[in-house]
Amino acid sequence: MEKFRFLTSGESHGKCLTAIIEGLPANLEIDIDFINAELKRRQGGYGRGGRMKIESDTVEIMSGVRFGKTLGSPVTLVIKNNDFENWQKIMSTNPKDITSEKAFTTYRPGHADYAGSVKYHQKDLRNILERSSARKTAIEVAVGAVAKLFLKQFGITGSSKVLQIGNGKNEEEFHAEIDKAKAEGDTLGGKVQIEYENLPVGLGSYVHWDRKLDGRIAQAVMSVPAVKSVSIGNHHAYKMRGSEYHDEIFAEDGKITRKTNNAGGIEGGMSNGENIVVTAVMKPIPTLVKPLQSVDCVTCLPSEAHFERSDTCAVEACAVVAEARIACVLANEILLKYGGDCMEELLKNFRLQ
Ligand SMILES: Cc1cc2nc3c(=O)[nH]c(=O)nc-3n(C[C@H](O)[C@H](O)[C@H](O)COP(=O)(O)O)c2cc1C
């Protein structure tokens, strides 16, 4: 039961990244500057690698929009990979161009290399790296930006922040942790928080397991590369008592209010009108300058893991990607609940509630 559907394609060093979004209503204003600003946010953050200096991501809209508004038809987004210029032969689709340049055969621990090479029967691990790389999160952020533009029409907005990087708990400490890890040829992960405000009550449902909003959000955020845990609301719930954790309900002028939001805005798989608060843990970046021990997939002999230009830490970018993922889930829920072929119809249904 998906209304906001999208597919993405594209390799890390291929020509471009593409997304087709299906299910957007007609007459949604598409602010391309906003999409590009979101792409810029994803490229930022302390501890990023050389790739971010090469790419300055901007989106091109190839279909589904006319004079700044959606037509109700599928919207196609494209982001060009500037680095493709240097990889044209290596990433060629033409069998005549076959080359072993940039091929590698030593699995990188923490990456898709080993399982991917077995699954897809590949000996050049480049064929695994190219799609498993987090480069594809650029187009996912572009799709999320369109979802955010849609949500904005209903007054729903999102933001995110970094809670922790290594042992650092504030910006100064984040930078110090990253500098230290980098100097030692090492990497870092961290913890982020994403918050969405102004939600209507009743997005998602308790009536069936796959309609629970918390389940859908958890899946969406867990699928961000390197995210290893997702929690909704107070992530210290495991050590709290019921009397302390559950958010008591009050009424003010006939309106339901809460003094706390430990539930993170979701009860019984539905939005309860409070802010949706999600935290996620990102593991340390798996590509290390000081390589980890591994095995060569051709010789089966011990070998040092392949190194390729990489981030030391991408926790800030991870927060932006997670924010985009949640936007897509919420856009889908708004479409399911309020229905309609055009923005006017959806907003009318929304105001009627
Ligand atoms: C925004 C972002 C940037 C990333 N950059 C890198 C990177 O430069 N080098 C790297 O080894 N992993 C990077 N990762 C993490 C890997 O893509 C990820 O750990 C790997 O694909 C294995 O997937 P898994 O961790 O989800 O199991 C990044 C992840 C995100 C979200």
- Predicted confidence at residue 1, as pLDDT, reads 66
Bridge partners (DSSP) of residue 298 are: none
**The ligand 1 atom nearest the CA atom of 111:** 22
**DSSP code per residue over 290-319:** SPPEEEBTTT--EEEPP--S--S--HHHHH
φ and ψ at residue 330, rounded to 5 degrees: -70, -40
Give me the residues of the chain with pLDDT under 50, please: none
Cβ atoms within 10 Å, residue 145? 27
- Predicted confidence at residue 55, as pLDDT, reads 74
**The ligand 1 atom nearest the CA atom of 133:** 17
Identify the burial level of 307 via C-beta atoms within 10 angstroms of its C-beta, where 0-12 means exposed, 13-18 middle and 19 or more buried: middle
CA of 135 to the centre of ligand 1 (A): 9
CA of 47 to the centre of ligand 1 (A): 13
| Residue matched to tokens 């980890």 | 292
**Which of 200, 228, 201 is closest to 322 using CA atoms?**
228
At CA 160, angle to CA 156 and CA 166, rounded to 5?
Answer: 165
221 within 8 A of 278, measured Cβ to Cβ: yes
Q: Using a 6 Å CB cutoff, which residues line ligand 1? A: 49, 110-112, 132-134, 137, 224-226, 283, 285-287, 310-311, 314, 317-318, 321
φ and ψ at residue 208, rounded to 5 degrees: -155, 145
- Give the residue extent of every domain in the chain: 5-352
Q: How far apart are CA 287 and CA 285, in angstroms?
A: 6
For the whole prediction, is pTM greater than 0.95?
yes
CA of 78 to the centre of ligand 1 (A): 21
Q: Which CATH superfamily is domain 5-352 in?
A: Chorismate synthase AroC (3.60.150.10)
The best mutation among 133, 187, 290 to test binding of ligand 1, ranked by most ligand atoms within 8 Å of the C-beta, falls on 133
φ and ψ at residue 93, rounded to 5 degrees: -90, -5
**The ligand 1 atom nearest the CA atom of 286:** 11
Dihedral (CA of 112, 114, 117, 122) sign: positive
80 within 8 A of 142, measured Cβ to Cβ: no
Q: What DSSP character marks residue 55?
A: -
CA of 300 to the centre of ligand 1 (A): 25
At CA 349, angle to CA 344 and CA 353, rounded to 5?
Answer: 145
CA of 72 to the centre of ligand 1 (A): 34
Instruction: Give the model confidence (pLDDT) of 258-278 as tens digits.
Output: 999 999 999 999 999 999 999
| Residue matched to tokens 């309106």 | 255
CA of 286 to the centre of ligand 1 (A): 7
Instruction: Give the model confidence (pLDDT) of 321-351 as tens digits.
Output: 999 999 999 999 999 999 999 999 999 999 9
Residues near 183 by beta carbon (within 8 Å), at least 6 away in sequence: none
The best mutation among 83, 290, 311, 321 to test binding of ligand 1, ranked by most ligand atoms within 8 Å of the C-beta, falls on 311
CA of 310 to the centre of ligand 1 (A): 9
